[in-house]
Structure 1
Amino acid sequence: MSRSPNRLVATIFGAVYLLVGLLGLFVAGTNVVGEEGALLLGVFQVNHLHNIVHLAIGAALLLAGLRSTPAAKRVNVIVGAVYLLVGIVGFFIVDTPANILALNTPDHFLHLGSAIVLLGVGLALDRDAAPRRAAV
């Protein structure tokens, strides 16, 4: 793997989110979807849908980090933007039927923190890794 910050961050975040998704499957119990969830690490509320999302995001980040710098950069920005949106919207959907992922306040801050790191690295670093278009 090259010394790309985007690849490193994507790989680390991918592995962590995969691990969190797997651990969450063991604690979620019968909570499949909805506002209620079990606590992961005693702090983060999760249900099975929430865990599946973590597994999918973790896999996307890990695969992109292992593939190439442009792929890692692209996935970091996309996942970072999604987490920014989820982090903000999450504050407004708590205690409503729209909260199908069983998000709680610590989840919102974790998603916002992840968004800052992923977007920061994705947008600011490895600028020379973007594929160049040929002049016509």
Structure 2
Amino acid sequence: MRTSVNRLIGVIFGAVYVVVGLLGFIVTSGVGFIATSGGMLLGIFEVNPLHNVAHILIGGALLVAGLAGVRPAKAVNTTVGAAYLLLGIAGFFLVGTAANVLALNSADHILHLASALLLIGVGVGADRTADSRRALA
């Protein structure tokens, strides 16, 4: 794992997202599962229970892939990054509507876009030598 940026990022991001998802339940007691507004995590990120579950599942996928190997880490980092890119963009249009089932706010959009850029960049750009060596073998 020390030589793979994808594995390292997957494990770190995965662990952080799982912890964030679990902490989110502390601020969402009494909030409806798919409420369009929710509790404030760290005072800036709006979350509801569905949002917390999503963080735990996404974090778990990143964590497991990061621990499994370079190829799964690259695949999951890129896939999660692409999903976060779409969510980050779409989120701006969802706020204030009934479709905002994750209780997103502007801080969430910025975090999702930043996560997307890093995950896609690492997933696509890092650990290329490991892939090319494997393709030649």
TM-score (norm 2): 0.93
Partners of 1:36 and 1:107 in 2: CA distance? 12
Partners of 1:108 and 1:64 in 2: CA distance? 24
Matches within 5 A, 1:45-64: 45-64=46-65
TM-superposition CA deviations, 1:90-123 (whole Å, max 9, x none): 0001000000000000000000000010000001
SS at match of 2:135: coil
Instruction: Name the count of aligned residue pairs.
Output: 134
TM-superposition CA deviations, 1:16-43 (whole Å, max 9, x none): 0000000001111122112110000000
Aligned to 2:120: 119
Percent identical pairs in the alignment equals 55
**5+ residue gaps in structure 1?**
none
Aligned to 1:132: 135
Aligned to 1:18: 18
Aligned to 1:83: 84
Please list every run of at least 4 consecutive aligned residues from structure 1 whose deviation after the TM superposition is greater than 2 angstroms.
128-134
Instruction: Give the superposition deviation at 1:133.
Output: 8.5
Partners of 1:44 and 1:133 in 2: CA distance? 46
Partners of 2:100 and 2:136 in 1: CA distance? 42
Instruction: Give the superposition deviation at 1:132.
Output: 2.9
SS at match of 2:102: coil
SS at match of 2:121: helix
TM-score (norm 1): 0.94
Aligned to 1:29: 29
Aligned to 2:42: 41
**5+ residue gaps in structure 2?**
none
SS at match of 1:45: strand
Tell me the amino acid that sits aligned with residue 118 of structure 2: V
